[in-house]
Amino acid sequence: MGAKQFGARVTRLEDPTLLAGRGRFVDDVKLPGLLHACFVRSPHGHAKVVSIDSKIALIMPGVHAVITAIDLPDPMRTQRLPLLLPNPALAATKTQHALARDEVCYVGQAIAVVIADTRYIAEDAAAAMIVQYDVLPAVSDYRGAAEDTAPHVHGDLSSNVASSFRLAYGDTDAAFADAAHVFAEALWQHRGGGMAMETRAVLASHDPASDLLTVWSGTQTPHLGRQALADLLDRDLQSIRMIAPDVGGGFGPKAIFYPEEAVIAAAALKMARPVKWVEDRREHFLCATQERDQYWEMSIAVDEDARILGVRGRMLHDTGAFVPWGIVMPYIASTTVPGPYVVPAYQLDTSVVFTNKVPTTPVRGAGRPQAVFAMERLLDRVARELNIDRAEIRRRNLIQPEQMPYEVGLLFRDGKPLVYDSGDYPRVQEQALTLADYDSFRERQRVALDEGRFIGIGVANYVEGTGLGPFEGVTVRVLASGKVAVATGATNQGQGTRTTLSQIVAEQIGCRLDDIVMTIGDTGAIAQGVGAFASRQAVNAGSSALLAGQSVRKQLIALAARTLGIPEDDVELDDGQAVSSRGNKPSIGFGDLARLAQGIPGVSLPAGQAAGLEHTAYYTPSQAAYCSGTHVVEVQVDAMTGGVKILRYTVAHDAGRVINPLIVDGQVQGGVAHGIGNALLEWMQYDANAQPLTTSFADYMLPMATDVPTCAIAHVEIVNPLNPLGVKGAGEGGTIPAPAAIISAIEDALSPFSVHFAETPLTPERIVAAMRAAGAYERLFAA
């Protein structure tokens, strides 16, 4: 039926297969003759590789080969991995080699790979490798990395500064000089990672008959990966097929092209047998990219009415040992600070430094949580100093809906001026506050205090540029069987890509959801693709699905009209049939139409008819789509232990039109869980020699079911005027303002003690230390 699919709470098409345990993740793919790989990795943060001795490894039964850098094919042997996002502000464009040659720059960097009958044997052999290193001083703390006295992260780079840039508009000097009040904050968010439940995995297989190299990878970006392989192996694009099958979570780190993808592909070619590598969790802690280490020193200038006059400061960003994604993350962070507020003058100096740690690249939020943390903590500071309610100070400074589209004054990372296309920030904030019973909170707090409990509330706002380009294509093709084949370069790591795109196509062409056969994340199915990151797929692939669906709809109607001999206006598409709305309602099935559209061999098609019933659309956004939201969090703090419990979590957000509220709510809820982890639990720690200290789930804490409450979520659908669907991205909004709101709530809970926090994760120990320094325990222990 021409059922309204768009906006419907459709249960997911992906679910039955996954629930039955019949998902197909990379490690589930079995090929005959399969060999297994284990990488040999640097145990040092920085060292010269003097020699690699694989003699003992090679004679172990079941070991087939040991591949080092010199064994790799050209140009991979000497050429570095691609720099995906070049930027003139990048002083040093250092990316990795597939296998380190003479120098290793972070613990875990791969120098060789063992190929064996089983992973077990490969690990035995890897342990038997004798590698001589010349250990060099390592840079661990990025705050000292820019000093002249700091060791060199790379032997051939005399400066550890990868990039320095300034973003600014307006006159901050004047703003600060004239301000009624100026406040300063130093803020710090520590390193952490995406930590998907499935680790990375690569399976490569070369078919000599067709010379096709097929690579299955747990990646968010198979088309980008294929291009990288084509470059590194000097092969035609057509001779490589990269497939992202079921992928167990992405969150950013799987969008990167990794050395292991290159090496395993090369190994399959070299061994003339399929080779599989499944990352173990320890490797994931060492080598999967991370995020967040940023140190901010910020000031805010306000007038007597607490209206922002200017914001300025400095940010130091740890990029790790390499820059595979350029400086996109500090750049995003730097443009996110103004957020939904009127900030007449702004200046941020960013310094990106190398350290001897695994590189940092976008992880859910992509630098925005840090920026929002800075801005929201500054506003909280003003509120506290001037004794204004924190929601009120935000209300006073929010951009008003009649100011849309709002030009911020900066260039965003999409290459376009930062212009908020649509939004109603005051309305979204109000919705969140109402849903959270904000107005009655002070009373709740007073009652709790009388009972000896410390509860607090925090508010935070964000704006996020989503739906980034350049494009994401969708092909819709009606098959002779009556089924509808849909292919897309979009990928799926849990966001329900198949369901949302099916909803859009089904609504357009009037087929059944179940009749859609979708191919996702396969470079063999669609010529061009980009992949999943920056909350971009609903906007881009969704819009392409709409455009392709609209075109196929027109073709179906035209062909049906011609075939049935009726006017096009009389044709309705429903349930896989083209039906006339008049008379005895003649109809013809989509399958029959598809067969007709194939034509008859040797016979010309009727005038006006195109070949087949298909269309490929590559929607290209003109700029980012700006979504926004407000989080309100209520916490209870155990003042004696520093333990924090989140009592209540409320979200109101504008993600434009909602394709499937079930899925969007799931993205928000899932994003909030990451935010809670960032705020309270997750911290990748290293020692002074850049040795990772947290390399298991026992040490790196992820939120459990007892740590994440079910959120109350309100959607405010403000249509995006810039794309045909009217949607905005929704994948990261749950994370972005969470640390700010949570830390604000903790501070509020402990306001009787006047403690202040500007660091995440905010651990119980830090809370207790602040309380002790404030003299709180003299009072509390006596009670």
Between residue 111 and residue 170, which ones bind another protein under the rule CB under 8 A?
119-120, 123-124, 127
435-494 positions binding another protein, by CB under 8 A: 492-494
Q: Which DSSP string do the residues of 625-666 spell out, in sequence order?
A: EEEEEEEEEEEEE-TTT--EEEEEEEEEEE-BS-S-HHHHHH
Task: Pick the closer one to another protein by CB: 28 or 592.
Answer: 28
Task: Pick the closer one to another protein by CB: 41 or 97.
Answer: 41
Please give the DSSP secondary-structure letter assigned to residue 766. H
C-beta neighbour count of 728 within 10 angstroms: 33
CB of 62 vs another protein, minimal distance in Å? 11
Structure tokens at 150: 């700091």
- Of 418, 221, 460, 422, nearest in space to 331 by CA: 418
CB of 135 vs another protein, minimal distance in Å? 22
Binding flag, residue 671, another protein (CB under 8 A): yes
User: Residue 566 burial (CB < 10 Å; 0-12/13-18/19+)?
Assistant: middle
CB of 548 vs another protein, minimal distance in Å? 25
Binding flag, residue 698, another protein (CB under 8 A): yes
Dihedrals φ, ψ of 658, to 5°? -100, 120
Q: Degrees (nearest 5) of the Cα angle 296, 630, 395?
A: 85
Element (H, E) at 296: strand 294-302
> For another protein, which stretch binds (CB under 8 A), given 323-331, 403-411, 482-490, 657-665?
657-665
737-766 positions binding another protein, by CB under 8 A: 763-765
Binding flag, residue 701, another protein (CB under 8 A): yes
Helix axes 390-397 and 425-435, enclosed angle (nearest 10): 160
> For another protein, which stretch binds (CB under 8 A), given 10-18, 392-400, 568-576, 588-596?
10-18
Binding flag, residue 30, another protein (CB under 8 A): yes
Structure tokens at 151: 């060791």
Binding flag, residue 405, another protein (CB under 8 A): no
Binding flag, residue 685, another protein (CB under 8 A): yes
705-724 positions binding another protein, by CB under 8 A: 705-708, 710-711
CB of 498 vs another protein, minimal distance in Å? 12
- Tell me the C-alpha distance between 163 and 155, whole Å: 18
Binding flag, residue 697, another protein (CB under 8 A): yes
Task: Pick the closer one to another protein by CB: 401 or 764.
Answer: 764
CB of 229 vs another protein, minimal distance in Å? 24
CB of 450 vs another protein, minimal distance in Å? 20
- Tell me the C-alpha distance between 622 and 484, whole Å: 29
Binding flag, residue 27, another protein (CB under 8 A): yes
Task: Pick the closer one to another protein by CB: 120 or 622.
Answer: 120
Dihedrals φ, ψ of 124, to 5°? -60, -45
| Interface residue with another protein, options 681, 746, 758, 770 (CB under 8 A) | 681
278-297 positions binding another protein, by CB under 8 A: 280-282
Element (H, E) at 212: strand 212-217
C-beta neighbour count of 645 within 10 angstroms: 13
Query: Is the CB of residue 651 less than 8 Å from the CB of residue 460?
Result: no
> For another protein, which stretch binds (CB under 8 A), given 25-33, 368-376, 424-432, 569-577?
25-33
CB of 511 vs another protein, minimal distance in Å? 21
Backbone dihedral region for residue 249 (phi beyond 0: left; psi -120 to 50: alpha; all else: beta): left
Task: Pick the closer one to another protein by CB: 149 or 696.
Answer: 696
In Å, what is the CA distance from 601 to each residue of 298, 578, 598?
A: 71, 25, 9
Binding flag, residue 14, another protein (CB under 8 A): yes
Task: Pick the closer one to another protein by CB: 611 or 705.
Answer: 705
Binding flag, residue 12, another protein (CB under 8 A): yes
- Tell me the C-alpha distance between 261 and 219, whole Å: 10
Task: Pick the closer one to another protein by CB: 4 or 30.
Answer: 30
* Residues with Cβ within 8 Å of residue 523, at least 6 apart in sequence: 222, 223, 226, 240, 241, 242, 243, 489, 529
* Residues with Cβ within 8 Å of residue 282, at least 6 apart in sequence: 695, 696
> For another protein, which stretch binds (CB under 8 A), given 17-25, 83-91, 144-152, 739-747?
17-25
Q: Which DSSP string do the residues of 382-440 spell out, in sequence order?
A: HHHHHT--HHHHHHHHBPPGGG-SEEEEEE-TTSSEEEE-S--HHHHHHHHHHHTTGGG
Query: Is the CB of residue 119 less than 8 Å from the CB of residue 275?
Result: no
C-beta neighbour count of 238 within 10 angstroms: 13
Query: Is the CB of residue 632 less than 8 Å from the CB of residue 737?
Result: no
- Tell me the C-alpha distance between 541 and 221, whole Å: 14
CB of 776 vs another protein, minimal distance in Å? 11
* Residues with Cβ within 8 Å of residue 781, at least 6 apart in sequence: none
Task: Pick the closer one to another protein by CB: 294 or 694.
Answer: 694
Cis omega before residue 405 (within 30°)? yes
188-207 positions binding another protein, by CB under 8 A: 194-199
Task: Pick the closer one to another protein by CB: 291 or 380.
Answer: 291
Q: How would you list the strands of the sheet with 103-104, edge to edge?
A: 103-104, 47-53, 130-135
CB of 244 vs another protein, minimal distance in Å? 12
Task: Pick the closer one to another protein by CB: 284 or 413.
Answer: 284
> For another protein, which stretch binds (CB under 8 A), given 246-254, 551-559, 575-583, 623-631?
246-254
- What is the bridge-based pairing of β-strands 181-189 and 212-217? unpaired
491 to 510: interface string for another protein, x by CB under 8 A: -xxxxx--------------
Binding flag, residue 673, another protein (CB under 8 A): yes
Binding flag, residue 662, another protein (CB under 8 A): yes
CB of 514 vs another protein, minimal distance in Å? 14
| Interface residue with another protein, options 2, 16, 415, 721 (CB under 8 A) | 16
Query: Is the CB of residue 493 less than 8 Å from the CB of residue 254?
Result: yes
Please give the DSSP secondary-structure letter assigned to residue 191. -
Binding flag, residue 251, another protein (CB under 8 A): yes
CB of 507 vs another protein, minimal distance in Å? 20
CB of 666 vs another protein, minimal distance in Å? 5
Binding flag, residue 641, another protein (CB under 8 A): yes
Binding flag, residue 514, another protein (CB under 8 A): no
CB of 11 vs another protein, minimal distance in Å? 5
261 to 280: interface string for another protein, x by CB under 8 A: -------------------x
582-621 positions binding another protein, by CB under 8 A: none
Binding flag, residue 28, another protein (CB under 8 A): yes
Binding flag, residue 5, another protein (CB under 8 A): no
Binding flag, residue 772, another protein (CB under 8 A): yes
Task: Pick the closer one to another protein by CB: 6 or 251.
Answer: 251
Count of chain residues binding another protein (CB under 8 A): 79
β-pair partners for 636: 455, 645
| Interface residue with another protein, options 672, 722, 742, 749 (CB under 8 A) | 672
- Of 113, 195, 198, 103, nearest in space to 155 by CA: 103
Query: Is the CB of residue 476 less than 8 Å from the CB of residue 614?
Result: yes
CB of 559 vs another protein, minimal distance in Å? 36
| Interface residue with another protein, options 25, 169, 183, 188 (CB under 8 A) | 25
Binding flag, residue 775, another protein (CB under 8 A): no
Task: Pick the closer one to another protein by CB: 56 or 127.
Answer: 127
